[in-house]
Amino acid sequence: MCERMVELVGIGVHNWKEPEAPVIVDGTLGAGGHSEAFLRAFPTAIVVGLDRDPDALREAGARLAPFGPRFVSAKTRFDALPETLDSLVASGDVPESVRRTGVAACFFDLGVSSMQLDREERGFAYRTDAPLDMRMDPELPLTAADVVNTYSHGDLARVLKTYGDERFAGKIASAVLREREREPFATSGRLVELLYATIPAASRRTGGHPAKRTFQALRVEVNRELEALERVIPAALSCLPIGGVAVFMSYQSLEDRLVKRAFSEATTSRTPAGLPMELPGTEPEFKLLTRGAERAGPAEIDANPRAAPVRVRAAQRIRQHTFRPHQER
């Protein structure tokens, strides 16, 4: 869906009014594929790539070096977007217009990157035996092994149910607690074996790999992914000028629901129901650029099976109120 992402981000770039270069934020830099597409498509733009993974920053930096100062990167979790932009303005890496007006577009490709999945030693993939790590930032204190080996039954079951939508969360948590008393978990292979033994055979035959939901839940818990997403959505929307665009690619329903709810609130009038016209200052500040959640087509899924679960939502700022009653409280 890279062409579609370029098209949506381009709406914000083409609406840029400032004399200084438009800035595009790639909040999930990864290997730099989307940033490269933006840099090639919009030759006057500056792309700011954010990632907490030093391997991603190193690889993307090498890939995008030919673009010179048009590409700027920062090691940070994407919900630190406002502070990061302030710092980059102060250092002169991005134009002053960012502080005054904002950015032309913000783009987020959520979840774990293909680069991280393909690195066996990172422990994200359940099809290979590897250290039970799952940290996007190796400096984080908590690993997936820590969650499995130290969480109480209730906390572990909550994580599996809430973040993985795992039907057998309680049963898996019980099995984990029994097994870790014999020996703490250190590798993904041993956890996968336990999941195969715990999840009923009938359920294993549908819904994909039996470890998929548990590994997703552990990854989200370790990296506080939903917490970061809840914080970055309003931050991203607030840094857009009129005409600016925010684009989110989600791969799981929890992420997509958060984006959908935030976009719904941003695109809904705050005029009380029943009034014949909208009250000044209560009109929606954004409009949706996607009808519902856009999905990858069959041809793209055939070429890239990892695109199958993707859901894309985009919104554009259409007005900016100077007076917001809800902010007075």
Average pLDDT over residues 252-279: 86
Residue 76 is encoded by which pair of tokens?
A: 């940070």
With a cut of 80, say whether residue 131 has pLDDT above it: yes
pLDDT of residue 280: 73
Pair 81, 25: CB distance under 8 Å: yes
pLDDT of residue 270: 74
Determine the Cα–Cα distance for residues 31 and 234; give it in Å rounded to an integer.
26
- Which pLDDT band holds residue 329 (cuts at 50, 70, 90)? very low
Beta bridge mates, 71? 47
Determine the Cα–Cα distance for residues 167 and 160; give it in Å rounded to an integer.
9
Question: Is 108 labeled as ligand-binding?
Answer: no
Is 1.10.150.170 the CATH number for 119-223? yes
CATH 3.40.50.150 spans which residues of the chain? 2-109+225-327
pLDDT of residue 63: 97
Average pLDDT over residues 225-243: 95
Backbone φ and ψ of 292, nearest 5°? 65, -150
Summarize the chain as % helix, strand, coil (round to 5): 50, 10, 40
pLDDT of residue 323: 34
Question: Is 323 labeled as ligand-binding?
Answer: no
pLDDT above 90: percentage of residues in the chain: 70
CATH 1.10.150.170 spans which residues of the chain? 119-223
Average pLDDT over residues 96-119: 82
With a cut of 80, say whether residue 204 has pLDDT above it: no
- Which pLDDT band holds residue 115 (cuts at 50, 70, 90)? low
Question: Is 30 labeled as ligand-binding?
Answer: no
Tens of pLDDT along 14-29? 999 999 999 999 999 9
Q: What kind of architecture, by CATH, is found in domain 2-109+225-327? A: 3-Layer(aba) Sandwich (3.40)
Question: Is 32 labeled as ligand-binding?
Answer: yes
Nearest one of 30, 25, 27 to 59, comparing CA atoms: 30
Determine the Cα–Cα distance for residues 75 and 88; give it in Å rounded to an integer.
12
For residue 249, what are the contacts with CB-CB under 8 A and spacing of at least 6? 1, 5, 108, 109, 110, 310, 311, 312
Determine the Cα–Cα distance for residues 145 and 123; give it in Å rounded to an integer.
10
Question: Is 207 labeled as ligand-binding?
Answer: no
Average pLDDT over residues 165-172: 94
pLDDT of residue 121: 60
pLDDT of residue 116: 59
Higher pLDDT, 324 or 5: 5
Average pLDDT over residues 304-327: 75
Pair 241, 101: CB distance under 8 Å: yes
Determine the Cα–Cα distance for residues 117 and 136; give it in Å rounded to an integer.
11
Question: Is 92 labeled as ligand-binding?
Answer: no
Q: Give this prediction's pTM.
A: 0.88
Pair 54, 138: CB distance under 8 Å: yes
Name the E strands within 128-281: 245-250
Tens of pLDDT along 306-317? 788 899 999 999
Q: What is the dihedral of CA 101, 102, 105, 110, to 10 degrees?
A: -160
Question: Is 109 labeled as ligand-binding?
Answer: yes
Higher pLDDT, 325 or 151: 151
pLDDT of residue 325: 34
Question: Within a 10 A sphere around the Cβ of 256, how many other Cβ atoms?
Answer: 20
Average confidence score pLDDT of the chain? 89
Strand arrangement of the beta sheet that strand 245-250 belongs to: 71-75, 46-51, 23-26, 105-109, 245-250, 311-317, 286-288
Average pLDDT over residues 160-186: 95
- Which pLDDT band holds residue 287 (cuts at 50, 70, 90)? very high
